[in-house]
Structure 1
């Protein structure tokens, strides 16, 4: 509601444009680059089962990419990450995790760095989710190892 004089012209209403849909993705990286990237289906949420299936896919990818290296995961303390099922899967898959850093409610410091840089794609207009996925993959895989280290 807005106060205006009787003789003042009525405020102009702008046409509302539907906001762009969001594409949720999960990415794992090390100091050399992206190890595994996964995009969620529209409407899919991150829950314990989804987290476990992602960890299994990550473990398979790690076997192919990092033959003799030992991997340590750092993630936040979100419920899907700390659930009994996920913790059991981490033990079964023999994936070591670090405790989240202090005061990291949403993002680990490394996440902040990656996603802050990814905002450079903001402002691009895409016609489909596939275009967004292709552009994000191209951007992530196009970064040098110095970026990730």
Structure 2
């Protein structure tokens, strides 16, 4: 590569910058309602979210619902997007078995997932500029931030979801821009 650089014979050698490994990503799966977080988990490094993994998450969610919303377990309706792990036959069977009904998600409407248009942008804003030595550090900060949010914060996200759904229904399931 050095021979490909244009320079004079007496020019100093170009500075080489130390290559730093890029930041690893941590995948967060979170279920929340108007009162707060119901279930939160992080996907381990090198693990892929597939139907089998998502079914395991749904089982953990059902246990979390029994612990934190024992009086409202029967009132729960899941809203998730059309990602393959969410729509697979294995997942659909598990949702039936666990008695977790879902709201159908219109195709091509990514802005109807409240975690995407409400929760994650605010969480990313909180995390921006922070540097973590380990994945556990990121996870601890995310959990701490989630616990610090009030029920009114989560209720606001659900109100925004209602607004987005009304727009979507008004457009016969058409794409809804971010509000």
Aligned residues of 2:111 and 2:117 also touching (Cα < 8 A): no
Is the contact made by 1:27 and 1:36 (CA closer than 8 Å) also made in structure 2?
Answer: yes
What residue is the counterpart of 2:132 in the other structure? Answer: 126
Please tell me whether residue 18 in structure 1 is matched to residue 4 in structure 2. Answer: no
Q: Structure 2 vs 1, CA of residues 146 and 10 (structure 1 numbering), >3 Å: closer, same or farther?
A: farther
Secondary structure in 1 matching 2:38? strand
1:85-104 aligned at under 5 Å gives the runs 85-104=90-109
| CA distance in 2: counterparts of 1:100 and 1:10, whole angstroms | 57
More helix by share: 2
How many residue pairs get aligned? The number is 148
Tell me the secondary structure at the aligned position of residue 73 of structure 1: coil
Q: For the structure 1 residues 50 and 88, does the alpha-carbon distance in structure 2 shift closer, same or farther, using more than 3 Å as the test?
A: same
Structure 2: segments with no counterpart, 5+ residues: 156-179
5+ residue gaps, structure 1, are none
How far is 1:68 from its partner? 2.5
Q: Relative contact order (alpha carbons < 8 A, sep ≥ 6): 1 or 2 greater?
A: 1
Q: What is the TM-score with the length of structure 2 in the denominator?
A: 0.74
Residues of 2 paired with 1:106 and 1:13: CA distance? 43
Question: Which residue does the alignment assign to 2:174?
Answer: none
Instruction: Map 1:53-92 onto structure 2 (within 5 A).
Output: 53-69=56-72, 70-92=75-97
Distance 1:101 1:117, change over 3 A: farther
Over alpha carbons, which structure has the higher Rg?
2
Larger strand proportion, structure 1 or 2? 1
How far apart are residue 80 of structure 1 and its match? 0.7
Task: Tell me, in whole angstroms, the C-alpha distance in 2 between the residues paired with 1:82 and 1:121.
Answer: 31
Q: Distance in 2 between matches of 1:50 and 1:107?
A: 23
Length-normalised TM-score, structure 1: 0.88
